[in-house]
């Protein structure tokens, strides 16, 4: 048995039974599927390598936006210490980046285990950016966020501009007083100027 035989068998199974009289077309389909599976194996191996080298931390995903210039997703997270953290995805014009942005959108307001790696910037290899390589769903966030902390996060994300922060808070229709949910806080964060939602 050759090393590629299992791959060929998997491709043949994916192609389904060969219709009588269509052997050449069926064989071409099996060949194409086998090549796709071979390439996919390399992609999965790289993904698993990144995942194995990543560091992990739990957080609540508050909001997902997209940077206009880089097309990267920007994930705003509240860590277990209550601090706001920002981490980016791969570029949104890549398969991995688009998939991560889509997955992150479904997890807003939920607790997640973030797998991150440090990626050297193309413009300056001496500087590194945190990149999310995987998000594991840990379930809904049931704790609320205190008023002072929530407003502080919005003010921080507005670069200290109180008017901008207040406008975002009101536009998200958050209560003037009292705690808010993680999802409510996220609604205010995505309403800050210069933010583009996916």
CA angle 51–55–58, rounded 5-degree value: 110
pTM (2 decimals)? Answer: 0.73
CB 90 within 8 A of CB 99: no
Strand bridging mode 128-140 / 72-79: unpaired
Q: What is the pLDDT of residues 124-166, one digit of tens each?
A: 777 778 889 999 999 999 999 999 999 999 999 888 999 999 9
**Separation CA 37–CA 39 (nearest Å):** 5
**Separation CA 49–CA 9 (nearest Å):** 26
Residue 113: per-residue pLDDT: 96
As a whole number, the mean pLDDT across the chain is: 87
CB 130 within 8 A of CB 59: no
Q: What is the CA radius of gyration of the chain?
A: 22
pLDDT at 48 over 90: no
Residue 53: per-residue pLDDT: 80
Residue 1: per-residue pLDDT: 44
Residue 68: per-residue pLDDT: 85
The residue-averaged pLDDT of 33-48 equals 80
**Separation CA 156–CA 184 (nearest Å):** 16
Estimate to the nearest angstrom the gap between the alpha carbon of 169 and the chain centroid. Answer: 25
Residue 198: per-residue pLDDT: 56
CB atoms within 10 A of CB 82: 12
Q: Which residue in 150, 142, 140, 154 sits closest to 190, CA to CA? A: 154
Residue 153: per-residue pLDDT: 92
> Tokens 């890549």 — which residue?
94
Q: What is the pLDDT of residues 91-122, one digit of tens each?
A: 888 888 899 999 999 999 999 999 998 876 76
């Amino acid at each position: 048995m050759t090393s590629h035989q299992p791959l060929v068998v998997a491709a043949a199974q994916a192609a389904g039974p060969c219709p009588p009289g269509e052997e050449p077309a069926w064989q071409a389909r099996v060949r194409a599927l086998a090549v796709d599976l071979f390439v996919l194996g390399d992609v999965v191996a790289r993904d698993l390598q990144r995942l194995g080298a990543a560091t992990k931390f739990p957080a609540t995903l508050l909001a997902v936006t997209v940077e206009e210039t880089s097309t990267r997703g920007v994930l705003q997270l509240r860590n277990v210490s209550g601090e706001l953290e920002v981490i980016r995805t791969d570029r949104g014009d890549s398969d991995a980046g688009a998939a991560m942005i889509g997955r992150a959108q479904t997890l807003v307001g939920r607790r997640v285990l973030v797998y991150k790696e440090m990626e050297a910037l193309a413009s300056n290899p001496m500087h590194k950016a945190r990149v999310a390589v995987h998000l594991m769903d840990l379930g809904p966030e049931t704790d609320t966020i205190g008023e002072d902390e929530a407003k502080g996060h919005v003010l921080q994300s507005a670069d200290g501009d109180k008017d901008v922060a207040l406008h975002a808070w009101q536009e998200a229709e958050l209560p003037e007083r009292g705690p808010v949910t993680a999802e409510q806080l996220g609604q205010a964060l995505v309403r800050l100027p210069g933010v583009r939602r996916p």
